[in-house]
Amino acid sequence: MPLMYKLIDSYQAAWDSSRSGGHFWFIYYDGTRHRTQPAYGLDADNFRTMIDILRNEKPVFGEHTTATVMTEPEEPGEEET
C-alpha cells in the first residue's frame, strides 16, 4: 500500500528522557490528529531532524504510520532566510 502523505497544519512533540525516545502528533490540514509510530518513539537524532524540518520548512507533508515528513522541492541555490 503506498504511503499517504497529508499536509501538516501543526504538530505537538513529546520527548521521554526516561526512554530516550520521542514522538509527534501531526495535526493535518483536514483537522485529523494522529500520533507517529512506532510506539517506542524516535531516537534523539531522528527527533531533532524531524523537529528542525517541522519548524523551518513550509509546507510540510507527513505520514504518521511511518513517522516521515516531506517538503516541496526547492529551486537550486535557494537560501534559507
Within a domain: residue 32? yes
Q: How far apart are CA 65 and CA 39, in angstroms?
A: 10
Q: For 17-48, what is each residue's pLDDT tens digit? A: 888 899 999 999 999 999 998 767 899 999 99
Question: pTM of the predicted model, to two decimals?
Answer: 0.83
pLDDT tens-digit map of 45-73: 999 999 999 999 999 999 999 999 999 88
C-alpha cell at 64: 504518521
Please tell me the total count of domains within the chain: 1
What's the domain range around 17? 11-40
Number of H helices, E strands in the chain: 1, 5
Q: Is residue 74 part of a domain?
A: no
- H-assigned helices in 1-81: 44-56
